[in-house]
Structures are given as C-alpha cells and as structure tokens.
Structure 1
C-alpha cells in the first residue's frame, strides 16, 4: 500500500510544474502528501472497518472518506469531490475523474480473486464516481494491483489490461512531448499503467510516471500502487516516505500493513526481487508518531536483514545455487563437461510441469472445479500427455532413467510445433545407462529438483535466463571452455536492442542466436505485443543450444517464433524465392574470429552475401557482417552486431572489405567497449550499427564512441550496468562531438586515414598541460626539504617523550 503513497508524495511537486524527464531528485523537502494519499488511506480504513462479507463497504467508504478527509481541506481535492466531502447529501455525481483510480490500490491488496478485486473497487468507487469510465478506471487499477500481487508476470498483466480495459498500443516516448494535464480516468489510468509496464524496478516506474507530465501525483500514485505489488518498495524509500505522513495517516497505514504485509524490493545484480515484509507491520509499536516511525523503520531494517531466506521467492541466485547442487548429485559418474546436458533439460522438464499445473489451477478456479474443463488444450500453452508429468516420474522407483526419457519424448511428440527436439537435442545425455546413473542417484536428483517450484508465479524476474547465465559461467569454469560462445552479457544485449529500437510489427533476426537472449530482449523492448508473433527468427549452429533458445523463448511467452538449428554461414535457413529472407532488425554476437568457417563456398556464395569480398578461412568476422547486411530489409533494415575490435583496423582482405563498408554509407555508429566485458575473454569488442535508411543528418557521417572507460569494474569481470549503457546510448542519440568520448566523422576524413576505423585515430583528447623541467625539479627539492624538516621534528618529539635515546 505504501507504493501509492510514495508515488503521490514524489509526484506532488510536479503536478503544476511538469518535469518531462526521468532525471530528478526523488524525495526532497519540497514533496508533500496530497488528496491521493488521504483518500487511499481512507479506503484502507473502510476495508478494515467493514463487515467480512463487504456488504456495507460502500457505506463505510463514504464514512471513512469524510471522517478522514475533512481535516485536510487544502490537500488538493477536485471541485466536485470537495463539495461532496463537506456535504450532507451523499449522492454520487456521475464523475469519471481520475480520483476514482488513485484511491483503490488497497482493494487489490485485500482481494482474494480477480472477481473480488472488481467487486471491492466498484463498491468504493460508485459512491462518488458512478460514471462507467470512472468505474472502469478504478477497476483496471485494482485488477492490475491484484495480478501483480498474485505473481503474474508483467506481460500477462499488460495483456489482461489490453484485452479487458484499455489498448496498450503506445509508449511513453511516443506521448511524452504531447501529453497534457488531464483529470479523467480514460486519459490517466492507461498512461499510469504503461509507466509500470515500461519499468525495470519500483523507482523506475515512479520516474516513468512523473516523466510524462500531466497530473503527476495521481499518475505516480496509480503507478506506485501496482509497482509495489509487483516489485515491492525499496526499504530506504519506504523509510523516507513514512516521515511525510502525520500521526493520523501513519497509524492507518501501519494498521493496514499489519493485516496485509507490504512488499520489499531488493535490487540485485540479477534484477529486482520482491519479498514480503511479513514481520514489519506486526512489530509496529502503538503510541505517538515518533515512536511509530522509529518502530516502523526498525521493522523495515529487520525485514531487509532477514530477507536472505526469501521463503516465497525463487530468485535467480537461489535457483542457480539449487541447480548447481544438482551437479553435485551427478558428480562422479558424470563428467563435468556433461553437467549442462543433464541439468538444463531436467530443469525445463520441471518448469513445464509446474507451469502446466498453474494453468490447470487457474482453469479450475475459473470453472468452479470442473476438471474436464481444466484439461482442455485451450487452457494450456502446451500439452503434457498422461504419464509424462513430473509427478509421474517422481512416483517411479525402478528404471527412473527410462521414465525420464519416456516423459521427455512424450512431451516432444505431443507438441511438435513448439517443443520438438528440445530434450532430445541433448544427445550426449544418457539417462538410461545404469552404470553411470543408478536409480538411487536419479531418485536423489528428482527429489532435489522437487524441493522447489519454478512456475511463472514463483519468481519476479527473468529467473530462467539469469540462472542459466550463472550456470553456463560455472560450467565454463569447470570445463575450461569459453562461455562467450553461448551467451552475451545482458547489458550488452540491452544496448544493442536500444540502438536498433525494434518497433511493434517489425521482424527481428539473430543469425547466431545462442540461448535466445537477444530475441527475448527485443520482445521485451516491444512489450511482448501480439504483433511480435510470427516475426521473431533465429538460427543457431549448436543443437543443444538451439533447443535451449527455443525453450527460453517459449517460457518467456513468445509465440509463433522460429529458431532453427544449422550453420548460418554455410547453410542459412531463412529463404524466400531462393534468396535470403530480409528483416527489419538484424542483431547478433557471432563467434569472434571463427576459423574454418567455409571461405571457399562463401567466395562463390549462391545468395550473393560476398558483396564486398570473401575473407580468409582463418577469420569469419566479415563473413558474419556481410551475411547480416544481406539479411537487412533494403528499405527499413537496421543491423547491430558485436565483433572484435580488429575489424576496425586489420589490413589485407579485411581492409578492402572495410573500405567498401565505409563507402556504402550504411555504417551509422561504432562503439568500442572495455576489454573483459565478455565473460572469460579479455578480447576488446566493438558494436557496429548499420542502417539502410540513415537519417539525413547522419548520411555521409559515422558516430564514433569510445566507451572503453564506461564500465563498472568487478573482481572477475568488467560490467556495464544500466547507467553505463544509458550513457553510451545518450551519446549515440545526441550524435555530436564530446571530447575524449565521441567524434562525428565524415567519410572524407576516413578516406584520408586509409579507411581505418580505429577510434583512437579520430577521438579528440584533452590537451595535456606541459610542466617545464625546471619547475619539476623545484617542486621535487621543495618536497624533499619538507620531508627532511618533518623527520627532524619527529625525532625531537620522540626524544622529548623518552621513546628513543640519542
């Protein structure tokens, strides 16, 4: 509940002084609570005071709003509500103002079902805002809070709002410059919800809401209520916000949180994780305001300190630890290099079963317990045949390996269009060889995996993807192989997608798909819009990795995507009329400096991919680049690719190819990255951004960005965090010179330097101050004399104190 109040307080100072940016001081002395907080807490009071069956909730809402609201006549009530507040005539006034939506977050916290959330929001809304649009706005807000609190992922919540309430067909960037102050539900609630849907954590959601202008405190209050239910509120923000409330309002909030515990957000390297503060409210002492605030802060700190147990959550790190313990069960008979082939499919098998169970439970609740209805295929995203569920394998005591293989094969056969080959692609896993894996050991493995649930409601971030990244790093450590072959750091993926900016309805293609991370991020960028269905493509050479990519996409909610297995450079899979299929967005981190990649065949490529020449068989970097360029749509095509920095300056055949690349005027931006940003490799990489339709002001020019100093050093790896990639992205969007970081270079300048693209040849450096040698000597001897004098003074003091003898 604190989320709505935080949003109101943060947005308060911008209501009449809009700030169309996410960059502002979050909570300052200029902030204050408004009618949004007062009425939100009045609804909390009504929900706590009414009868258990809620039959008197409407009457109680009227009483609570008037009793609690009247002492704050100057907190910002709308004109019609103000008259109602201080009137003895308590009739609704057919309003569709956004006051209906800003006060109902508590309904989403109290409700035990979607239908109950709708009922509660209607009862507390219709007493004033009985216009259909007012009731709709309140209901959409309460339902979003309920879904977020219930563990639904952000895309599911968005789809529900899009289907039943408002079209989610716009972005904040698309409306920020034109959105105006508006007090209606229909022009406030959708915008507030999109602020949440475009967020990465609680604070980011509030900043999103404020950044579009308009009725800032109400927008942020609606967004904050949903964001807290989804992410939780960070402890330090919660503690600060409590200090803005007076004793009366603070008491209502803490009493409500005693009954309906708040959520706490922890932002970890793997993402935002929400944790229930079960003990926070229960430990609040009664008494005066100062005592309550101190007690509430102590409880929040204690909840944060005790949060490592995370009893309801499966975080990325926790899941990784549990999965790696599975490796210990396999240790001995299974070689370290083979762990991935056993742990990955058994995890996916468990996850499929858990997701299927969630879907079954949802269908049972919808149908009032109709088991036949719950088994209908339309209630599930995939089929698990009889005898192929996780529980079926768990009940087997003999020939456990045979049961595992039977279940996995059965799931593949039942889902030929989506899951074919996802298990059998791990062909080096031999589940049925009892000389390697006894029934006892496999039972231990199954029971170990049964200890956790990995369905969609058991996590708040991309647990599967993050956990797999942790695992692949660990597997690489054990096998002494390069993990960079299989995945790209998340921050780099995000930067690539931001540069490409795929729009809803555009096609996206990754010719070196790995585990599918870039395609998943592109879908996230487009908010999982239904127009992405059928427009996501990938190809991956490694059979098992391509299976992981398909499973990863499938479990992230992607639909009608195509990820195929095969050697892209020798045999591209996506063709139309005998020619390469083209795409709006092409994105990849292909294997660096690939050897024996098929140069002879490429030199006479039947698809015409050797547009600028054929590199030698000792290095395939420019083969990948030319394949991607040929795969770009002639009119709308953009390409973002990660390559080693050698492509910027190497000579020979590569130098000639680079010359033609420059002359094509497709190259829009080059970004050099710090060495070590890719796991287990010190190779320095760069990002090339190409565009078949460069903006006029970019034509004949290339933006060169030296990002080698933009990173956060870590013990084992250099990391680019959100603020790092945002800084790089802002350099690109500004497209102007910045000394030591950015240079906008004309093609004529590059011709003059023999087509080298080495950024250090172009970036302007600060002038170094030259100190004359005589000045250096003077400063040296001056410092030396000061040192001698200090030593003499120290000796005198030691002698005087009797610490030493002469």
Structure 2
C-alpha cells in the first residue's frame, strides 16, 4: 500500500466518526467537530506514555513558579496535560462526561489551550452533551481507527491526514479545497527550486536557515521543506515562520509545529496583508500558495497607507486591482528577501495566470511586473498542468 492510499484510508476512518453527528449537525458542520477532536486526540496519544509521570511531578511542583518548565521536561514535549483524565478515562464516568471533558481540556498547558481556543470548540461540547452524543463521539475517538499515537502515525502522515480531512470538509462546504491544500508533489518541486545550487545548505555542517510562508495554511509547505532538507542534509536546521488568517488551519499548523518540537511561536495568526506579524524581518527562503482571486477591499485602507511609504513598506512597486490580492502576497514575499550582501534569498510561489497578463501598461500589475524584471528578481516561471 502506497503512502497516499494509506493516508486516504486513515483519514476516511476518522471522518467516518462523523456518522455519530448525524441529526445533530448538518454535513457541512461535521468538520467543526472532527477537526478539533482529531487535534486533541493526537495530543492525548502523544502524551500517553508520560502521563503518569507528569501527574506525579505536578503534585510535587504545582505551587512553584517554574512548574511549566519542569512539567515540559517530564512530558518530553513542549506541552503537557495535568488533568487526571485521558480520552479512555473519560469513558469511566458517562454521567459527568461534559464536566470531566472540560476538566481534561483545561489541564493542557497554555500553548495547547490557545490552539484549542482557535477552534471555538466549547459550544460544540455543550451541544453534543445536550443532545446526548458527547460520550458516543469520544468513545469513537478511543477506537482503533482513531489511534493517533506517533508509533502508529508519524508526524508526516498526520499532516497529510489533517489536509485530507480539511479537503473533505471543504467539499461538504462546496468550497475549493485548493485554498487549503497544495499537492505534495508540487511542494517538492518548489522546494527543489528553492534549494537548487545552495551548496552551503545542502552540504554544510550545522547550518541554520529560515523559511517563511505568508499564507501558511496547515503548514504543509513548511513541513515538506523541512522534511526534504533533512533528507539531503540532516545537520541543517530549518526554522519555519508563517502567518495564517483562518483560525482552524492556523490551529492545526501551530499544533503540528508544537508536536514536531519546532518553535510554534513563529507561527502567527492574522491577516498578512493588513497586519504583517513579521514586519522588517528577512528570511533565507520564502514559499507560498496564496489565495487566487480574493478581494482585498477589506484591507484597502491599510494596504494603501503602506503603499504611500514606497519601498519603505511592502507595496512600493504598485498595487493590483482590488478584486485579486495575490500580487500583494508576492510583494510581501519580495519584501522579506535578504540583500545579496547578506546572502540573498530565494522565493517559490504559486500563482494562476492572472499576474502574468492582467493590467494595461502603466497599471499597478504592470508596474509590479516591471519592477520584478528590472530588478532581475525573476529566475523562472514553471507552468503546471491543470
């Protein structure tokens, strides 16, 4: 069985749990329950091996100001849970499942609670409890099909599973799954282009590099870049930075980074166009698949104010039509490039055909293209099959 088939099967098994939501939720709402529960269950499985040790240590240090550091050390991760409950133990008391589940969630370290909060999940807990299905759904997540222990499902596979669940969620919404998902084959091509001929990164010892995605989604591009680089040179460290607008995909990305041991604080939430969380920062590599055809009218005032700053801001080259903001992401990426004297940067970014042709001479898009070409920033355009 190849990886793709295996991932689809595992994602399908988890998605099948949504059958227990029938009647209480409409099909397009299933993802609002399945996604956060999958993330929480992943944390639950990961922490299972050190759960008892963490509880013992918590009894010793719960009044100490340094307890957070000590509990992380015992858990073996940058997160932990101090509740006596696990998914399995929650099943021992069906009559108090709602109260105990809240206790369990509140037992997580603050960084995990912040992630769960982004899912706006509390209301769904209350709904499932009131409709009598909370116990049933949690029980399903303790079944073999939902065993998300890292010995069973690797971090790489888990990333694929999240994306497949989101794809199914998007289909039930009649949304374009492409706004959340980029095929891994395409990402590997982009990463190959990024790292091409970078001999110090590919063959150097103990090299550290940075990579940034201004529309990072679930973090798939950042994860593939890190995975691929480690295949080529295991001694190189790639530090991932990203910003994401959608709360659910941001939460999944941050959870993935936390679980892998990366610095999850480098993943920021918010609107990149109107609230750049990495203002003034430069990166070695930039990779992205920004949204196509998305209006930026809501960000118009802030973007235009920044454009007035010229090249002291991100949008000095010009502004595209308000009906499509993808070139704003392109200029954001360019603004994050290091100067050649500092080692320079490389960008791999996906667009549809619009930025190549839209706008007459003298228009914003035309001025942006002129700036890119005259600054000798364009190395290649790769046409992908539809």
Q: TM-score if structure 1 supplies the norm length? A: 0.41
SS in 2 for 1:507: strand
For residues 478 and 560 of structure 1, the distance between their equivalents in structure 2, rounded to whole angstroms, comes to 30
Q: Which runs of 5+ in 1 are unaligned?
A: 1-265, 271-314, 365-370, 676-806
Bigger helix fraction: 2
CA pair 269-360 structure 1, distance change in 2 beyond 3 A: same
Task: Give the conservation status (yes or no) of the 8 Å contact 2:216–2:244.
Answer: yes
User: 1:604: which partner in 2?
Assistant: 305
Task: Give the conservation status (yes or no) of the 8 Å contact 2:155–2:260.
Answer: no
User: 1:386: which partner in 2?
Assistant: 83
Is 1:443 the counterpart of 2:147 in the alignment? no
For residues 213 and 48 of structure 2, the distance between their equivalents in structure 1, rounded to whole angstroms, comes to 33
Task: Give the conservation status (yes or no) of the 8 Å contact 1:401–1:439.
Answer: no
SS in 1 for 2:290: coil
Deviation sequence 1:561-617 (CA, Å, 0-9, x none): 511110000010013xxxx21111111101112203523432331551112111121
SS in 1 for 2:126: coil
Shift of 1:392: 3.7
Quick one: which of 237, 242, 253 aligns to 1:532? Answer: 237
User: 2:164: which partner in 1?
Assistant: 470
Quick one: which of 621, 624, 634 aligns to 2:326? Answer: 621
CA pair 560-457 structure 1, distance change in 2 beyond 3 A: same
* Paired residues for 1:453-602 under 5 Å: 453-459=147-153, 462-501=156-195, 503=201, 504-527=207-230, 532=237, 535-559=239-263, 562-575=266-279, 580-597=280-297, 598-602=299-303
Quick one: which of 336, 361, 368 aligns to 1:657? Answer: 368
Task: Give the conservation status (yes or no) of the 8 Å contact 1:319–1:463.
Answer: no
SS in 2 for 1:484: helix
Shift of 1:378: 1.6
Quick one: which of 372, 382, 386 aligns to 1:671? Answer: 382
For residues 376 and 596 of structure 1, the distance between their equivalents in structure 2, rounded to whole angstroms, comes to 44
User: 1:681: which partner in 2?
Assistant: none
Task: Give the conservation status (yes or no) of the 8 Å contact 2:222–2:240.
Answer: yes
User: 2:36: which partner in 1?
Assistant: 345
User: 2:66: which partner in 1?
Assistant: none
For residues 432 and 454 of structure 1, the distance between their equivalents in structure 2, rounded to whole angstroms, comes to 21
For residues 624 and 515 of structure 1, the distance between their equivalents in structure 2, rounded to whole angstroms, comes to 17
Task: Give the conservation status (yes or no) of the 8 Å contact 1:594–1:620.
Answer: yes
Quick one: which of 343, 346, 362 aligns to 1:638? Answer: 346
CA pair 323-470 structure 1, distance change in 2 beyond 3 A: same
Q: TM-score if structure 2 supplies the norm length? A: 0.82
Shift of 1:393: 2.4
Task: Give the conservation status (yes or no) of the 8 Å contact 1:518–1:588.
Answer: yes
* Paired residues for 1:179-258 under 5 Å: none
Quick one: which of 414, 419, 434 aligns to 2:112? Answer: 419
Task: Give the conservation status (yes or no) of the 8 Å contact 2:30–2:169.
Answer: yes
The count of residues paired between Structure 1 and Structure 2 equals 349
User: 1:433: which partner in 2?
Assistant: 126
Task: Give the conservation status (yes or no) of the 8 Å contact 2:83–2:106.
Answer: no
For residues 190 and 99 of structure 2, the distance between their equivalents in structure 1, rounded to whole angstroms, comes to 43
CA pair 631-460 structure 1, distance change in 2 beyond 3 A: closer
SS in 1 for 2:286: strand
Shift of 1:372: 6.3
Deviation sequence 1:63-87 (CA, Å, 0-9, x none): xxxxxxxxxxxxxxxxxxxxxxxxx
Is 1:354 the counterpart of 2:49 in the alignment? no
Task: Give the conservation status (yes or no) of the 8 Å contact 2:163–2:218.
Answer: no
CA pair 328-602 structure 1, distance change in 2 beyond 3 A: same
For residues 319 and 262 of structure 2, the distance between their equivalents in structure 1, rounded to whole angstroms, comes to 36
For residues 121 and 71 of structure 2, the distance between their equivalents in structure 1, rounded to whole angstroms, comes to 35
Q: Which runs of 5+ in 2 are unaligned?
A: 59-69, 202-206
